[in-house]
């Protein structure tokens, strides 16, 4: 479904990503690990055409996305849950969720508002509350629920556990996996929480200073016992 070939990414003259290649099958679930500054967020934004200048190929369902803007990539089935959530603070939870469905080309098979809320019961009593009146944890749950409401082919999650209480992290992992299985949504997850990444994905990429240093499944990751110490330890 998603394929990157020899992708480099730049902010101005700063060269952030170096020769990144990856592939993700339909419905696949891939974690991108690395320390702060490793290039995880830049990778997701490069796929979305949401900031960096990109050199190389980004393909979705075989289609080269060169020159295609972020909004059109959403219409083609990509959805980004950014690190800063980007909740619309002046409209309600309900309106945030329904608005997401306006940006997709899919005309049938979208979950109803009631189905989305049922999957994320933390939002049940908040549907008429303004986005700006939510706590950080509530906003993060809403950001994920909003993305799933559009039923994308691939959901890009950027550090969704940052600042969340452990009980919310555990529940969020369960809800994401269940919803993605139900609606056939793939996952590309940039994350530092190893427990959460393991719950949500089956394969791992490891970035260091913008370069790919490991690619494999979790068993292969665990067998390389020095990876955590070399590339993830603070």
pLDDT digits 0-9 by tens, 45-57: 999 999 999 999 9
Find the helix or strand (DSSP H, E) in which 98 lies.
helix 93-100
Position 107 scores a pLDDT of 67
Position 191 scores a pLDDT of 94
Position 26 scores a pLDDT of 93
pTM of the shown model: 0.93
Position 164 scores a pLDDT of 87
Cross-strand partners of 29: 187
Write out residues in the chain with pLDDT < 70, as ranges.
Answer: 107, 234
Q: Would you kindly state where each structural domain of the chain is located, as residue ranges?
A: 2-201+210-232
What's the order of all strands across the beta sheet hosting 63-64?
14-24, 2-11, 53-60, 63-64
Position 62 scores a pLDDT of 92
CATH topology of domain 2-201+210-232: Rossmann fold (3.40.50)
Position 201 scores a pLDDT of 97
């Amino acid at each position: 479904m998603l394929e990157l070939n020899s992708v480099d990414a730049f902010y101005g003259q700063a060269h952030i990503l170096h020769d990144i290649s990856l592939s993700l099958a339909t419905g696949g679930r891939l974690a991108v690990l690395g320390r702060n500054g490793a290039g995880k967020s830049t990778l997701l934004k490069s796929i979305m055409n949401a900031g960096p200048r990109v050199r190389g190929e980004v393909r979705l369902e075989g289609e080269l996305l060169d020159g295609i803007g972020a909004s059109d990539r959403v219409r083609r089935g990509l959805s980004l849950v950014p690190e800063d959530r980007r909740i619309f603070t002046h409209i309600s939870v309900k309106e945030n969720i329904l608005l997401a469905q306006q940006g997709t080309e899919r005309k049938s098979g979208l979950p109803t508002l009631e189905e989305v809320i049922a999957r994320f019961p933390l939002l049940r009593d908040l549907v008429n509350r303004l986005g700006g009146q939510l706590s950080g944890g509530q906003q993060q749950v809403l950001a994920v629920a909003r993305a799933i409401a559009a039923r994308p082919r691939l959901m890009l999650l950027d550090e969704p556990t940052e600042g969340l209480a452990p009980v919310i992290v555990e529940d969020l992992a369960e809800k994401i996996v269940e919803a993605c299985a139900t609606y056939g949504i793939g996952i590309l997850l940039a994350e530092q929480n190893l427990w959460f990444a393991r719950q949500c994905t089956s394969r791992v990429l490891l970035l260091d200073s913008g370069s790919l240093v490991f690619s494999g499944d979790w068993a292969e990751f665990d067998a390389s016992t020095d990876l955590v110490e070399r590339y993830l330890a603070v």
